[in-house]
Amino acid sequence: MPLIITFFVLLFGSITAVVYRLLTHRERMAELEARRPYITLQLPPGTSVEELVGGDELTRQIEEACRAKGIDADVDFE
């Protein structure tokens, strides 16, 4: 009987440690994501999103400049 209780205590302790570790990791990743800068670029008047889906020259230049400085840039069109 003590062997079964010991097994369940170890199992419960292990599960608790894993859940705590995962929650700590999620919190740390959320903190890093919150510190990540978000930049909004205003496009010149008359530029439509349909033209930009393929990417225009300005967007490519911005992405290249970001890569040259080691910045991971995600371009989203709204």
Residue 49: what pLDDT? 54
Distance CA 33, CA 37 (A): 9
pLDDT of residue 59: 74
Q: Which residue has the tokens 């989203």?
A: 76
Side-chain half-sphere CA neighbours of 67 within 13 A: 8
Could you tell me the pTM of the whole model? 0.46
pLDDT value for 77: 61
- For 52, residues 6+ apart whose C-beta sits below 8 A from its C-beta are 43, 59, 77
Question: If you ran DSSP here, which 8-state letter would residue 72 be given?
Answer: -
Per-residue model confidence as pLDDT tens digits over 16-73: 999 999 999 999 999 988 887 777 766 666 555 555 555 667 777 877 888 888 877 7
